[in-house]
Amino acid sequence: MCGFALGTKYLGALFFIGFGVWALAAMIRDKQFRFKPLAAFTISALAIGGIWYIRNWMWTGNPVFPFAYEIFGGKGWTKEMASAYTISQLEYGYGRSALDALWLPWRVAMAPLNGRQPFWPFSQNMIPFGGGGTSGLFEVNVLEMALSSFVGPLLLAFGLPLIFMRRKPVVLGLALWMFLLFAIFWFATGQYLRYALPAFALLCIPCGWGAQKYLTRSIPLRACAGLFLALWCAFTPALLWSNARISWAVILGVETPRDYLARTFSAFPISESISQNLPRESVVAVYGEPRGYYLDRRYFLADALHNRLVDESKIRTPLDWIKALRANGATHVLWNSVPQRNGGVGGPPSQLAKAQADGSIRLRAESRGYQLFELTEDWPS
C-alpha cells in the first residue's frame, strides 16, 4: 500500500518514510531489530511506486518534478518558475509563525465555522489578504464539505488527548504518529486543506477508539463526549445538505449529468464542442488553465507559468509564437480569457492579437469567456 501511495501522489512519500521510521523505532525500542522484514517492505514499496519516479527522471531529468529544482533541475522548468511556485504554495493557510503553530489545532478543529477568522470565537478579526504566508486563502468547497464530516470540535474532543494516554493499542500509536508527521509537514509547506485529508482519515481511527473510552469514564467526561457527538452528528448532515443544494437536481434524477455539467462547470460547453467537432488528431494548446477534464483531444499547457514548451523569452513576433506552437504539434489554441471568473491563471503572449489580425489564427468558437482559435495554413513562412 505504501508503494501505491508513492505512485499516486508525492505526499505518499510521507506514508512510506513515516511508516518505515516508526517500524525501525519500534524494533529498536523492543530490542528486536530484524533486517529482512524492513528490507522486504522497502524494496516492495519502491518496486511498486518507484517506476513513476523513474519515468519522471527519464522525461524531465527530475524524479520529483517540478519539486527540488535546485537539486535535480528539470526539463521545461526554471529556477524562477520554481521560486514562483513555492511562493504560491505559501500563500495558502493560516501562517507559519510560532504563534500560528500554537493556534493551529484550534483553527483547524473549528473549520468550517471560523472561515478566515483565525481566533474565532475569541475574535472576529479576519485574516487579511497579502504576503507573509498569512493570506488566509483556502479551498472553500473542500473546507466546508469534505472536512466537515469528520473534523471540527471532534478533533479536539477525541483526538488530541489520546497523545497523552498510555497503553494504547499499537495501531493507534502508528496512526497518531503518522498524523503528527503529516501535521508538521502540512504546517511547514503548502497549507492546502486537501493535502491534510490523509491525516484526518488517519485520525478517524484514534477518534473512534477515544470516543468509546471517554464514554466509559467519569460522568463529566461522558457528558462532554456525548454532547460533542450529538452536536456534530446533527451539524454535519445539515451542513452537507446545505452545501449539496446545487447538486440536488442531478442527485434526484431531475437533471441529466450533462445538463448539470453545462450549468455548473464553465469549461464544459467549449470542451464538449471541441470533443465533438475537432478532428481526432487535433492538438490544443491551452492558456489560462481552462481545466481540461472533459477535453477529449490531446492538449498541453502552453503558458509560461506551467512549463517552457513554448519559450516566451524567445518570442518577439506573432510568427515566432506560431512556430513555437507548431513545433509542439498544436493545431488549435484554447484560451480561458477570464481566469479570475472561471478559475485559473496565466494567458497567451501579447502576440495573439497580432496573429489574429494577420490571419495566422482565427476564432472558431467562444463560450463563457473561453475562446477557441484555429491555426491557419496561410501563415507567413
Q: What is the DSSP string of 80-148?
A: HHHHHHHHHHHTBSS--SHHHHHHHHHHHHTTTTSTT-TTTTT--PPPPSSSTT---B--HHIIIIIGG
Last residue of a domain, one of 155, 179, 202: 202
Residue 233 domain-assigned (yes or no): no
Domain that holds residue 12: 2-139+170-202
Identity of the amino acid at 50: G
Do 180 and 315 lie in one domain? The reply is no
Do 193 and 268 lie in one domain? The reply is no
Instruction: With 0.85 as the threshold, say if the pTM is over it.
Output: no
Closest by Cα among 304, 303, 369, 365 to 342: 369
Q: Please count the other Cβ atoms lying within 10 Å of the Cβ belonging to residue 5.
A: 20
Last residue of a domain, one of 162, 183, 202: 202
Q: What is the pLDDT of residue 156?
A: 58
Residue 227 domain-assigned (yes or no): no
Residue 159 domain-assigned (yes or no): no
Do 185 and 80 lie in one domain? The reply is yes
Residue 134 domain-assigned (yes or no): yes
Residue 94 domain-assigned (yes or no): yes
Q: What is the pLDDT of residue 337?
A: 94
Cβ contact 329:323 at 8 Å: no
Cβ contact 228:221 at 8 Å: no
Residue 250 domain-assigned (yes or no): no
Do 269 and 177 lie in one domain? The reply is no
Do 134 and 277 lie in one domain? The reply is no
Residue 231 domain-assigned (yes or no): no
Q: Looking at the 3D structure of the chain, how many domains does it have?
A: 2
Last residue of a domain, one of 202, 217, 249: 202
Query: How far is the C-alpha of 84 from the C-alpha of 345, rounded, in Å?
Result: 13
Do 95 and 174 lie in one domain? The reply is yes
Do 184 and 324 lie in one domain? The reply is no
Residue 225 domain-assigned (yes or no): no
Phi, psi of 74 (to 5 degrees): 160, 130
The C-alpha cell of 150 is what? 469528520
Do 58 and 196 lie in one domain? The reply is yes
Instruction: Write the burial class of residue 352 (CB in 10 Å: 0-12 exposed, 13-18 middle, 19+ buried).
Output: buried
Could you tell me the end-to-end alpha-carbon distance of the chain, in angstroms, rounded to an integer? 54
Do 278 and 176 lie in one domain? The reply is no
The 3-state DSSP composition of the chain as helix, strand, coil percent (nearest 5) reads: 55, 10, 35
Query: How far is the C-alpha of 246 from the C-alpha of 236, rounded, in Å?
Result: 17
Do 13 and 134 lie in one domain? The reply is yes
Do 47 and 187 lie in one domain? The reply is yes
Q: What is the pLDDT of residue 129?
A: 57
Q: What is the pLDDT of residue 323?
A: 94
The pLDDT profile of the chain, 381 residues, written as one tens digit per residue, is 999 999 999 999 999 999 999 999 999 988 998 999 999 999 999 999 999 999 999 999 999 999 999 999 998 888 988 998 888 788 777 778 888 888 887 777 776 666 667 777 787 777 665 545 555 555 545 555 555 554 555 555 566 667 677 778 888 889 989 988 998 998 888 887 778 878 888 888 888 888 888 888 888 888 888 887 888 788 778 777 877 888 899 999 999 999 999 999 999 999 999 999 999 999 999 999 888 999 999 999 999 888 889 998 899 999 999 999 999 999 999 999 998 888 888 889 999 999 999 999 999 999 999 999 999 976 554
